[in-house]
Amino acid sequence: MTKTLLAIHGGAGTLLKSEMSPEKEAAYLAALNAALLAGNTVLASGGSALEAVEIAVRSMEDSPLFNAGKGSVFTATGEHEMDASIMNGKDRMAGAVAGVRGIKNPVSLARKVMEKTEHVLLAGKGAEDFAKEIGEPFESEAYFHDELRYKQWQMVKGTDTVKLDHDLNPEKKLGTVGAVALDKQGNIAAATSTGGMTNKRYGRVGDSPIIGSGTYARNETCAVSCTGSGEFFLRGVVAYEVSALIEFKGLSLQGACDEVIQKRLLELGGDGGLIALDRNGDHALVFNTEGMYRGFIKEGEKASVSIYGS
């Protein structure tokens, strides 16, 4: 039996170290630990990597600290439009939703798109109608209202400025969330969920729901979940690029992640990071920003969570 692994991220943009209070840091680390525990409980009981990444991401979607689900940022029109995706490395089945409003756990809706439809990606009203049909839980606008996010939006409202939530001073908060896992059966999976970027245009879709850009999983190569300025991750087809470098160039997991995040993404001018693992038990948590909220647990070992440079 394979030794299980689980890695998570809560966004590649972090509070500057100088702005981080011990209380805030403790809250963020506790939320990361809770997500790791939730996902790892699935893996420890023999559950699938697919199930584990969904559960870990749901845990972060339910926290107001992260820009996903409950803590999603505001669009230019003062709403919350969320994107999410999930992919199973065993058969490369995938599901995603884009620009959905009111959905409590977009990652679970993405999984339902994968399992209950012939499609990979449903957007906007079509995705919301599908959610109603299958009884996926919705929440009211009040559930998604967060005072800090609201202030962030007020700072750029009415301008053309589009911001990663962590770009915004002084009330910077966490970003997109994601998870990658390896289960006892030796299968891997990845999932990503986000509220996108503050003050984004109505209808803007980032990399997170795009298979190959924000999320990718293939047993033969790796499972990847990304975070950062989505337009660059879309143009760089980042998650698939990591897989391709392993498959076609024979790079190691760490080598491929470094090449993409520290070189190719920077060449495009993009900032962000990713988490990745493979079925050999290797993992990589890579970012070109000051920090990335992240956590990792290997079967039989203690969980580790961190925020700033490696």
Catalytic residue set: 176
Helix (H/G/I), strand (E/B), else coil: 42: helix
Report, in Å, the least distance between residue 230 CB and ligand ASP.
Answer: 2
By CB under 6 A, tell whether 275 contacts ligand ASP: no
Stretch that binds ligand ASP, among 88-96, 138-146, 205-213, 300-308 (CB under 6 A): 205-213
Q: Which of residues 280-309 bind ligand ASP (CB under 6 A)?
A: none
Between β-strands 283-287 and 272-277, what pairing exists: parallel, antiparallel or unpaired? antiparallel
Helices (H), the chain: 22-44, 49-61, 106-116, 124-134, 141-144, 147-156, 230-236, 238-249, 253-258, 265-268
By CB under 6 A, tell whether 209 contacts ligand ASP: no
CA dist list (Å): 201 to 142, 159, 211, 237: 21, 11, 21, 22
By CB under 6 A, tell whether 196 contacts ligand ASP: yes
Compute φ and ψ for 91, nearest 5 degrees.
-120, 5
Alpha-carbon distance of 117 to 301, in angstroms, equals 38
By CB under 6 A, tell whether 208 contacts ligand ASP: yes
Q: Which of 310, 283, 275 is nearest to 299 (CA)?
A: 283
Between β-strands 94-100 and 82-88, what pairing exists: parallel, antiparallel or unpaired? antiparallel
By CB under 6 A, tell whether 71 contacts ligand ASP: no
Build a one-symbol-per-residue string for 123-152: x at contacts with ligand ASP by CB under 6 A, - elsewhere: ------------------------------
By CB under 6 A, tell whether 273 contacts ligand ASP: no
Alpha-carbon distance of 120 to 270, in angstroms, equals 26
Closest chain position to ligand ASP (CB): 230
Helix (H/G/I), strand (E/B), else coil: 118: coil
By CB under 6 A, tell whether 197 contacts ligand ASP: yes
Residue closer to ligand ASP by CB (options 88, 289) is: 289
Stretch that binds ligand ASP, among 37-45, 57-65, 146-154, 201-209 (CB under 6 A): 201-209
By CB under 6 A, tell whether 164 contacts ligand ASP: yes
Q: 303 burial class (0-12, 13-18, 19+ CB within 10 angstroms)?
A: middle
Q: Which of residues 8-67 bind ligand ASP (CB under 6 A)?
A: 11, 67
Among 194, 198, 199, 221, binds ligand ASP (CB under 6 A): 194
Among 39, 71, 175, 291, binds ligand ASP (CB under 6 A): 175
For residues 76 and 157, the answer to whether their CB atoms sit within 8 Å is yes
**Given the rule CB under 6 A, which residues bind ligand ASP?**
11, 67, 164, 175-176, 194, 196-197, 206-208, 227-230
